[in-house]
Structure 1
């Protein structure tokens, strides 16, 4: 009787360890190539669905070196869109969120909105926009895995990613899930 329980327990432990190793390997393999080029040893930090009212808008995934996010290190935020949205509205919503964070320089916000509007296309269900904060604090944007452009402005990079990652975010539950806090 004891031997059978011991064998069953051993099997459960081995299966549990195998599942943990397998899930880590799947997560490591799921990091897009264009992310690993800018984010060394990129791993998933966290993932969450952003829902507005009752509509799923996008699935957000945060990548950082060894899965440890730091605001001053390279990282990437991938948004897998679940619905169609106008690119200009995405840019405007980003500016509105930056304003909520405390950015009040309207000339700068207007310039940033124009830059984002030029980069962000209209998206359909299944499209992916990934923002990468590079090691020199520039922002690279990838549309469905292809580089769409770069904004080389450290203030923009900080303000843009603060939309999701700052303590002042308008979506604290999403932030918590992305940062695993």
Structure 2
């Protein structure tokens, strides 16, 4: 049988374990909410938005951003641009807005999206809209299709929840979001993560 001092030590150890378990239990709900919260700018355009998937983009092992995709109840659709969706990038490092725009245009060109004239106009629009970012900043692109009496298709960009500007047309949306969602994306693992529930009718977890 343990002595008095040993029993005291055991009680302290048990107490510490219980306190640690209680602290974890209190922290878990907030972590869960942080992982599933839908930004207000997404809900404004897509009241029934649900999480499709999320994943990380790393460059030579360094985390650049975490991407999250939301879709409507009908999913992403058979062709990009048929249904509303939103993609958010939460940056983990500082990047120049002009560089983000230039790299986006470069990836569109590699994917053979748009004509040279279109990409030139898109680049100018992205240079105007995309801000410099630092660790923790978010840039969210929200696409809404046109037709059926709705306004023309457009992609609105929000920086930390505030509208920065928009680019009209389905062609731009297909070209821009193809960087992450096309089968020819340079980040196929991230694409798989983003599209995990893109075509499912399941509700948001």
Deviations 1:92-141 (A, max 9, x none): 11011101111362222111111001000110111100001113231100
- Pairwise mapping of residues 8-157 of structure 1 onto structure 2 (< 5 A)? 26=33, 30-66=37-73, 68-70=75-77, 71=80, 72-103=82-113, 105-136=115-146, 137-157=153-173
Q: Are residue 171 (structure 1) and residue 181 (structure 2) matched?
A: no
Higher relative contact order (CA 8 A, sep 6+): 2
Cα distance between partner residues in 2 of 1:54 and 1:145: 28
* Contact 2:156-2:165 at 8 Å conserved across structures: yes
Alpha-carbon shift at residue 40 of structure 1 (Å):
3.1
> Which residue of structure 2 lines up, in the alignment, with residue 13 of structure 1?
none
* Contact 2:75-2:83 at 8 Å conserved across structures: no
* Contact 1:28-1:44 at 8 Å conserved across structures: no
* Contact 2:94-2:133 at 8 Å conserved across structures: yes
Cα distance between partner residues in 2 of 1:150 and 1:114: 12
Computed over aligned residues only, the root mean square deviation of the Cα atoms, in angstroms, reads 2.1
Runs of 4+ with >3 A deviation:
25-29
Q: Which of 129-138 and 61-70 deviates more?
A: 61-70
For structure 1, list consecutive stretches of 5 or more residues without a partner in the other structure. Answer: 1-21
Rg bigger for which structure?
Answer: 2
* Contact 2:145-2:170 at 8 Å conserved across structures: no
Cα distance between partner residues in 2 of 1:60 and 1:67: 21
Cα distance between partner residues in 1 of 2:34 and 2:73: 11
TM-score (norm 1): 0.81
Alpha-carbon shift at residue 61 of structure 1 (Å):
0.2
Q: Secondary structure at the match of 1:126?
A: coil
For structure 2, list consecutive stretches of 5 or more residues without a partner in the other structure. Answer: 1-28, 147-152, 198-205
Over 3 Å counting, the alpha-carbon distance change for 1:67 and 1:125 in structure 2 is farther
